[in-house]
Each structure stands twice: as structure tokens, then as C-alpha cells.
Amino acid sequence: MSGESITAQNLRQVLISVAQKIIEQESYLNSLDAAVGDGDHGITMRLGFQAIIRKLGELDPQIPMDIMLREVGTAFMGATGGAIGVILGRALIAAGNALQGSSEMGATEFRHVLGAMEVAIATAGKAKPGDKTILDAVHGANRIGRVALPNLD
Ligand SMILES: [Mg+2]
């Protein structure tokens, strides 16, 4: 593999950092949800990401990244109700499955992860690109990956 890649230790740090950022934004996410729904999205995301941090603390520090992602996906799903728990949980599990046996994640593996997450989100959420859902972000990242990064590996 050429270029940059991240290890399971790096991935653990990324997950914790993302989780902390999401947890900090609980009130903001609730306010966004209140405009169109029942105003609990921040609570749901906090519960899910707290479960991810808790799970990462329980897991063996040497755990491979594929198992790590499946474990945190399962933890997220178990801690949250509603559609987003299933959608993000399945997306994380799909990311783990896409990394089966990989000790590092470089550009190639990351494209596999994004592709697997897009399929998982589209399937779990019954969404299509352009429906103004979380799928649009992953689909956009996939599209950029295909268009702009074709020769990284
Ligand atoms: Mg809600």
C-alpha cells in the first residue's frame, strides 16, 4: 500500500474524538430536530456515542479495526432507539465488515468502507441520494473518492 493509512489505535482515537464532538452538540442537534420533529435527536446521538466510548473502554486495546467497528456499531444500536440507531449502527457494522482482516486503513480500504456504509444506510433507511438524509453525505464522499482519488493505490 502506498500513501497514508491509519491503524486500529488511530481509528479508536478518531471514534472517541468524533463521539466527544457529537456529545458536545447535543443541544444543537435537539434544536435542529425540534424544527422538523420531536427534538430528541441530540439525546439519541449522545446516548449512542456515549455507548461507543464505553465500548471502546471495554475492548482489548489490541482489537483489530474490523472487530472494533462491529462492536461499536452494535453498542450504538443497542443504546439508541429509533431509525438512526439502526441506520448508524448498521453502517458501522458494515464498515467493520468491509475491513475484514485489514490491519490498516488506507485509501483503498477507506473507499471500501464508504461503499459498504452507503449500501448499509440506503438499505436500512430505504433512502436514495438526494432525499436529504445522512446518505447524501456518504454518497457525496464516495463520489468524490471515485472522481478525485482514482490512482491512490
Ligand atoms: Mg426525533
Given this model, what pLDDT does residue 102 score?
Answer: 93
**CA 41 to centroid of ligand 1, rounded, Å:** 5
Given this model, what pLDDT does residue 78 score?
Answer: 96
**CA 44 to centroid of ligand 1, rounded, Å:** 8
Is 17 a domain residue? yes
DSSP-derived 3-state class of residue 7: strand
Is 147 a domain residue? yes
Query: Among 41, 102, 113, 49, which Cα is nearest to 75's?
Result: 49
Average pLDDT over residues 26-54: 96
- The number of residues in the chain equals 153
Is 1 a domain residue? no
**CA 104 to centroid of ligand 1, rounded, Å:** 36
Domain count, the chain: 1
What is the widest separation between alpha-carbon atoms in the chain? 47
Neighbours of 11 (CB within 10 A): 20
pTM value is: 0.90
**CA 39 to centroid of ligand 1, rounded, Å:** 5
Is 86 a domain residue? yes
Is 131 a domain residue? yes
Does residue 55 have a pLDDT over 80? Answer: yes
**CA 40 to centroid of ligand 1, rounded, Å:** 4
Is 30 a domain residue? yes
Out of 19-28, 58-67, 129-138, 144-153, least confident range: 144-153
**Residue 6: its H or E element:** strand 5-7
Beta bridge partners of 5: 106
**Which residue segment(s) compose the domain that 17 sits in?**
6-152
**CA 107 to centroid of ligand 1, rounded, Å:** 34
Residue tagged 447535543 (cell numbers): 26
The CATH number given to whatever domain includes residue 49 is 1.25.40.340
Whole-number Å distance between alpha carbons of 93 and 96: 5
Is 52 a domain residue? yes
